[in-house]
Chain A
Amino acid sequence: MNPTSVSPTQLGQPNSTAIGFFILFVGVTLGITYWAARKTKTTSEFFAAGGGVSALQNGFALAGDYMSAASFLGIAGLVATSGFDGLIYSVGWLVGWPVVTFLIAEPLRNLGKYTFADVVAYRLRQTPVRLSAAVGTLTVVSFYLIAQMVGAGNLIHMLFGLSYEMAVVIVGAVMILYVLFGGMIATTWVQIVKAVLLLGGATGLAGAVLYKFGFNPATLFNEAATRYGPQVLAPGALVSNPLETVSLGLALMFGTAGLPHILMRFYTVPDAKAARSSVFYATGLIGYFYLVTFILGFGASVLVGRQAITGVDKGGNMAAPMLAEVVGGTGFLGFISAVAFATILAVVAGLTLSGAAALSHDLWSSVVRKGEAPEHEQLKVARLASLFLGVLAIVLGVVFKGQNVAFMVGLAFAIAASANFPALLLSMAWKGFTTRGAVASMLTGAISSVLLIFLSPTVQVDLLKNATALFPLKNPGIITIPLAFVVGGIVSLLSPEREASSRFAEVKHRMHVGLGKPSPVAAVPSTATASAASTPSATATPSKA
């Protein structure tokens, strides 16, 4: 309960400011949820906020969806304890966003409805494609949720002194309220509020640090170099194997473009132009945030001291909150702690909603009911799926207590990059892509990533305590991403699908021109209408000239 033998920090004590800020945050966001619940009457409102989110709002929400507690506390801690190396992660987490902007955002917005499977399945056979896409989505969401829930339990235990289980249950329960009642509208606003709080808190903290160094970051870095040696300004132990670094880089870069909860956000804006602008805003906000976090890490190493930080938590995760206490007292510590809590809530809400979309839209409405489910049934199933995933998140959080789950975020990125991204890109860019190719690509990506991570040093050596691992790399991206592309390509060439290629003209038209205005119905053509409309001349110009 009281880890304060090294420094006189209030961390881990029930902190009245922290609790006050936290209750305020939960109160405000539940108020938003109440308001959102009254506006959530259709499945489109539940999963896509009715397409009524503006580009700037979505930019903030994307940032709020993506900036996890791991990136805030983890990167600050990594920089505080090992200097420059933290920047390698910061850069890696960011460079996926331009890829999302150039290759994914607009076509996705124009072709799909709630999930990325809408796009892949557009001109292919619905059932096999959606089943395999759901496998990819649900695996990514589960691993990401476990990492977030276990992180939440540990963090809140450390920050507030609550028991681990209690923390997991609180996070899960509040998140279920957001998603179940407020759907995407509430989730969007929780993410916006969180992004503003996180960016504001980090900026204030960085300002307070830089104030002590004449607002010159170089002076701060130099102070750290004087204290801990000039190697803190150069690449260190993190990069021992170049191949490993490149593999991690690939997974981070293309994984962002395959994360279901990020992709889903593009359906909340009215059109492709807004989708494009919203990624531009998000990239700027996230890039700024990572630069600020870098300053926080160095600030913590100089103003708090490495020993004090690792004395509280070996991983260094408490660097940012401890820094807040040093520069702003208990009140600021309380504020930053509450922000960290809010951060986790916003991310798990987005994850749960995207998992629920895969369950209810891809599996139930499209595979089981073949697109025949009436609107009220879709909404009911969507809510049931959210509830189910929320409860599952709590259970997983408790089950994985005390496990080292840090690798699961890396695993989620690797699967997203290998299972989701290649199929998504090929379905939009390649006429010859077929149902069998898509299924083979998605399953190969998912299975090979999970298998290679299981055989990697992370699991074999660190977790299972074996002497060696069969597969030498911690991140399999460099193998699994090309593999998913190649398998998708070869299988498509071996199994030509006349209908899929003949409908490519329609895909191309809709991908670029869109529908004009957001359509309330049917991005899910049943096989019957698909074959009826398979002549390109009939489908390429649906809006007439």
Chain B
Amino acid sequence: MSGNPQEDALEALAAARWRVAAVLTVATLVAYFGFILLVAFNKPLMGEQLTPGLSVGIVLGAVVIVTAWALTGLYMLWANGKYDRALHQLRR
């Protein structure tokens, strides 16, 4: 596969994209299954109220939703910046 510098650059770029995608996917999995496991194994903690009406569970659920969105935003920032610039180089 080597010898051709353009091909090597593509190889590196593809590897970088899968790496970023894998890290972010794992982060999503950790956030989600962290929430699910707390729901399953620590109901008392989830029911504890931070202020009257606002339980730990509700806050964490909302945090997971916002985190999931933020992670897609993070990916977009990386991809629109670094990744797209490298791709642009490669296309020329």
Contact = CB atoms under 8 A, between A and B. Distances in A.
Nearest to B55: A233
Interface in A129-167: none
Contact of B7 (A90, A235, A239, A540): A540
Interface in B23-58: 24-25, 28-29, 31-33, 35-37, 39-41, 43-44, 46-47, 49, 51-55, 57-58
B55 A84 contact: yes
Interface in A192-237: 217-225, 230-231, 233-235
A66 B29 CA distance: 21
B68 A287 contact: yes
Contacts, number: 163
Given A234-B57, A508-B10, A245 B40 contact: yes
B8 to A, nearest CB: 12
B85 interface: no
Nearest to A428: B18
A505 interface: yes
A contact face: mostly helix, strand, loop, or mixed? helix
B46 A235 contact: yes
A296 B61 CA distance: 16
Given A508-B14, A512-B10, A513-B90, A221 B72 contact: no
A223 B13 CA distance: 54
Contacts of A106: 79
A408 B37 CA distance: 25
A72 to B, nearest CB: 16
B48 to A, nearest CB: 8
B47 A218 contact: no
A240 to B, nearest CB: 9
Contacts of B80: 273, 276-277
A287 B10 contact: no
Contacts of B90: 513
B37 A287 contact: no
A223 B62 contact: no
Contact of A249 (B13, B36, B72): B36
A512 B40 contact: no
A508 B9 CA distance: 12
Q: Enumerate the 4 nearest inter-chain pairs by beta-carbon distance, A residue then B residue, closest first.
A: A234-B47, A222-B53, A242-B40, A221-B53
24 contacts: A84-B57, A87-B57, A91-B35, A94-B65, A94-B68, A95-B31, A218-B53, A221-B54, A225-B53, A233-B53, A234-B44, A235-B43, A239-B39, A242-B41, A249-B33, A273-B79, A273-B80, A283-B68, A287-B69, A294-B61, A508-B11, A516-B91, A541-B7, A543-B91
Interface of A: 84, 87-88, 90-92, 94-95, 97-99, 101-103, 106, 217-225, 230-231, 233-235, 239, 242, 245-246, 249, 253, 273, 276-277, 279-280, 283-284, 287, 290-291, 294, 429, 505, 508-509, 511-513, 516, 536, 540-541, 543, 545
